[in-house]
Structure 1
Amino acid sequence: MVYPEFSFWQAGLLPGVLNIVSGFGPIVGAALASHMDVDKLAFTGSTDTGKIVLELAARSNLKLMTLELGGKSAFIVCHDADVDHAVEQATFALFFNKIRTMFLCWRSQRKRALRRVVGDPFKKGIEEGPQIDTEQFEKVLKYIRFGTESNATLECEGQRLGSKGFFIEPTVFSNDKGYNKES
C-alpha cells in the first residue's frame, strides 16, 4: 500500500539511504544482487530464488542480506494497534500477491477471508482476481493439498472458484503441525 503523504525522511532516513526497487528477478534482481555498490539487500520470495540472490550477493561484495522466503507472511501487530485495522491490512498483504494458502490461528482472519470478494479485478468491489496462469493456479492448489495432507486445519474454502479462469477461494489453515518449507 502506498501512502503518498509519507516520505522516508519523516522516518529519519536521509535521501538515498533506502531505495525500493521492483522488477523482474533475472534483470533487476540479478543486477542489484551483483552490484558492488549495493551494501544491503532485502529479498522476499521463493526459497529457490532466494538461493540465487544469496549466491549472487556472495560473489559480489558479500553484501548484507535479509531474506524472507517461502511465503510465511510474517505480520507484527503492536500492543496499542487497532486490531480490526491490523486484520484488514494483514488480509490485504497476505492475499495481495495471490498467496492464498495461509497458516494462521486468528479467528478474525478467518472471518475476514470468508468475506473477500473474488472475481474480475476490473469490476468495482472485487478484492481478489485470478491466478496469473495455469502454472500458478496448480501451484496454489498443490499448497492447499499439502496443507490438508499435513493435517493442518482447513478453516475456510480451499477450492477452485467457478469453472472458468484461474480463481481460487481464499484459503486459511490453522493448527499447522510442521509446515516449515516449500515443497
Structure 2
Amino acid sequence: MTLVTASSAVGAPAAVLFDRDGTLVRDVPYNGDPEQVMVMPTARAALGLLRARGIRIGVVTNQSGVARGLITPMQVAAVNARVDALLGPFEVWAVCEHGPGDGCDCRKPAPGLVLRAARELGVAASSVVVIGDIGADVSAALAAGARAVLVPTPETRPEEVGAAPVVARTLLAAVSAALGSEVPA
C-alpha cells in the first residue's frame, strides 16, 4: 500500500473513472430514489480539478439490485441522472445490472466496465485511473490494466485497504494522486 504523496503518483491519466456508491455519493444500498443521493465530501472539488485540467471522467458502477429485483433499470437511470445533475456531466456511464452469480465479464471485480468505459472514451485502459471505495473497484482497475486508488469508507474491509496499491483519505487526495500532484485535502 502506498499512501498518497506527490512522489507516489505516476503522472496525469487520459481519464479517471469513479465508482458511484460510496465514492462519488453516499452508499444507500439498492438506491432507486434520486432524492436519497448525497454527494461525498470533496467530490465537487475533486471533479473540478479534473475538469480544469481537461481530464476525461466517467462512472463505473455495479447495480445488482436490478438482477435481484429490488430496483428497476429506470430507477438506476434516475439515480444516475441525479448524480449527473449534482456532479456532472460525466462523459461515460458504464453500469452492470447483473447479480454476483450471473457470470458476466462486466461486474466488478471483473475488468469489463473499465474496459467498456475506456473504449467509449477512446483511451487505452492503461491510461486510466479508477477511484473507488472497495477492493472490487481496485481489482477491476488492475485486471483492465488501469491504475487504481482506494478511498476507504467505514465499510471498506481492512484487507482491501492493505492490498490497495494507493490509498487516499479523501476523493480530492485520490484525484491529486491520479494527476501526479499533491493537493491539500
TM over 0.5, shorter chain? no
User: TM-score, with normalisation over the residues of structure 1?
Assistant: 0.29
